[in-house]
Structure 1
């Protein structure tokens, strides 16, 4: 595990960023890393986080933060890498290898560079110092500083960074790189004219460039600042340097055999306080000069961005540290107005507190604070990973922010008026490094849309764009077309969606019979059973559970059904789903007071147990689940004894309920659950007594990534994986859905010639698009008919018109799945999409310059994840090729590549095909044609060339790829 302090706080393992939690956890980790391998008192942590405004529960909050950090480190194998967070009186001790923290690597490289500088090894010194400065990605812990944290250690680090930069410039001067240094030093001296060493370095660089007058002007400006602001004259070294410039001292002229320092003294001058030795001849000193590194270092990326139109130079686009993608995101923009504050220091403090609030609410719902300007903030949802519900997450964060600032309490800034807008659309996102969680650049019209929308928002209001409004109406109450006012009283999913109601139950009869048989078995044999339903989003897991409930309702004695949903927003307790089930058992609603909840719980416990001791223990372990105590019911890091007691009590409680009536407990989206809930589900069916309990968990295949042996070896466990519907089942579903939707909406029959006109033709055209997923079928049906109802032309029939646009919900599901891939596998999938539906190892290896063995391993992993399918093909080497299991995966992967990158990759693919002893002209033409169409407007030279070559060979009929609508 690697930790990064020189910029935003990050922890990475194998290049992947690790989620560190909220502000308190991140600040605690940052402070412990600054003081790594030494005990930090709890009082020091409290003072660093809150200063004089520490809340009464601050010690408990620090304990919770430490427990969560300890769990994160343990989950990622911290102890195996000598990284461990220990409790040591009077506080905490974070043990971590020094080479695992960029700060300590910076200090080591700085020390090595200064030693080389003192020894006269200029090139070695410059190399070490440059590597040290390259570790900086922005001001140290800048994400924490943005929230108002201002620790003395951060100022000290910035000073150390500046001193190392000055050492580097001195080494660069000794190597004769004065021309490169002038442009780097001028803005720094302009910003800090009182730094005499910087001033001397710039004076010497200017003099060696033949700019004597400008060098003297720099001296006079620095002298004026020192005299005016501090009443001081420049130091002796700077005065002597000015004197030598005035007298054209020959010692200032650069000579490889006799380098001079910034003070203008030769290394042989024993009076020089910074005397240096003449550099010994070495091969490295004759190397071509390297560019000087400017200070401060850029926060995101070290060099200029490659031009988007440079298609004729693929290497400029396909190499370097940048990663650029086209993606759909939701953008939250908030602007504050402080109406009763005039003092700038008060405004500064208020805005820092609000920045912390915006960051906290954004992170709570999965967003990333992208930037702030004055009293306006931008939060991205969909960076770095797309989620299916990014518009809903952004809207929830917007409403939470308004609620937070309406309830003004102690510590809240006075008289805050907040306006919030949310918009969803496509952007270009660029990352400076593979593991970055925050893009360095975001470009797209959705930002302007969000800004325009913000201008129309009244004080205290929230507005969303048309698209965000359309996809979130199931989750929120809307006062107008674009004004969400509150979350719906009924949580999403408890009522059937339109697609759920209209879709016929097709293709899952065997799985339903298995569940019905298990339900009958737990009744007759009175024994528990765990069923896990696995499948991709929209494949029909919840529908299958619904059908089982309908079957159970028709039995003479129906079971008691409980449903708990694991929140996808990370804003509930780890046991929120269990809490929801207990509330449902006891009939407790959110409107019940704490006193009423307490009475209901006490009555239930009295009915279930007669022993006073058991009653006391059960109450103690159930009360936190109902929010009657502040402490978590089973916090991370609690003792094994406390965890075991909680599990035993909850198990006993459900057992007693099931003894009265058969119980079916449904846990939705278990793949999102915290370890504590997963542990309890596994514990329940192993330890509950002989009572009829059927536990049904719905989850995506990611569950097996976290728990590879889930359900394996358990006596009472079954796992059902829902496969896509067959082509015949998909056709039946599409035709029935189209008919029912038209009847419900009272839509006229589609016009002749459209895909909607003929049910059979309509189904055949979309079967490959839906890929056996019922949710995709519903979204395509709704898109087609809504398009026709709105007066816009429906998508015409015939393959020559290409594919229809993708519904945004379908695009988001697929994009979220791709974003969960490892970076190397994602790159291989993108390159496979460039080649089209069929690809093989040598083709991908030629496109991304990776070893064939690595590409083959990635292709096998993508096959295991059911994104690709292996086929036998004698026309390719080794006779093994891969095709996309779902053509929408190909389209979404291809759509993520910027057009310039697509063009560069197609040209590289074409060049590789032409280098083969034999090649297919049609494949070559496809790549040249797509390279031409991907060029910005077809007017570039490379665009004309590619198009001309494609037409000379043969212009293929290659349908355009779909984009979301």
Structure 2
């Protein structure tokens, strides 16, 4: 520019030569580097040096023609290995940009965010579009240009940092969203956008940013987000007070002389913020809480939309199962979800029932997420359960939200790190609280861990129950399928007399605690309206024992139940001897949704003396 008037530089080679020399101003640039910058490594013509010399000569003439008497003109010197463009740093925006950016960073580091924001705003105002945009459009791409663009992005992040420290998250929110969309892998900008969204009351959108950047890092580089981003996600999930918005600096009030002072009710009122005051807890005011950390990883290489839809389905499943067992989903982002189980009544203060509900939820999630999915659709599922105590306020109601202790969540994350696919890993306290009802196995390795294997069997039950766990697990899985698909299903349990069919039905009836149950016999008539009413709010299991003795009317009733026109979560479990098919050959073959289970004889261990009550937990653990 000459007196704010543009100067015609010349052709592309001359402009590119000037641009590369300016990016390295006051430093010698080798001729080989200039040639490579102008033509690349493989396209240099034989006359390249002559063309470069002509461009340098034309630049020198231009500098001489537009020299001003009150300023030192640029000087283009010939050096031993190339050329050097000497300029006054005050006349080049690039030098001013770097110098003032350092001043703004120093103010920010000194704890003066307001001054830093003003300085950095002026620094960014020096930019009028992309640096050397005309050369970029013609295909020139130099390392110096990339470094300068990255320096601009760094200063933009410094500016947003200062404004967030000033409490101006709303003012920079739009700019941050635009920057993250243009530069989705800059984790610092993503961190700032998450913080601005959270402080603006958009917690779900904030966690969605984390989910998106995590998916992109995994898809493109196979990496996890950095520590700072993961810590912020954790803080958002637990509503850490340290990330709350600071108070914005008060604006000075200028008194007006043109009229009376406004009435107090006319003054601008401060914005109300939701503040939770917590009284200092007493030593005895503690509450037992179980945290469940769920991670479902879908394989890399799949389309982003497919992964997003699968994660949404998994999040819905997690919320349904956790809330069904009295828990709360404290946060869900990407492949990770955090659930919290806390007391729902004064009787749960001891913690056993809380921990049991948490482990049962984990087991139910494992069945739903890993059962009956198409090939390649099942995620790598890992679950960790940790139980601890947190302070509670005196007189607080049991349904009131409770914070998640940082140590508790850290324990969950540590357990999850060592879990393998489809494993549910629990801490020592969770195992101690649930050892009488849950069967555990101990795994070795880098860190020994307790893994959930199933429900603990009734020690005083007949010995056949000890060897029917596979059949019970199959029935539980089919009940879960019925719940999800709302479609009737028949399970026909076949076996010889005395093999344990009736006991299996009784055991499953006690296990189906979250479903309605009814037995089909002559004393309780089962009709379609009756069944529809029972299955209105939860799944229904109809048990039929000795089906081979049932009359034709009972068999027709079962067939009608399986062919109901309306969707219904109904599972029919019928036990029969093989004689059924001698009387009614092919019965049940026409049903689309039917399963056959044939019980085989079991080998029973020799009887042992009945254990004492205080030995039960130890024996249950040994059985695992």
Q: TM-score scaled by structure 1?
A: 0.25
Greater helix proportion:
1
Q: TM-score scaled by structure 2?
A: 0.39
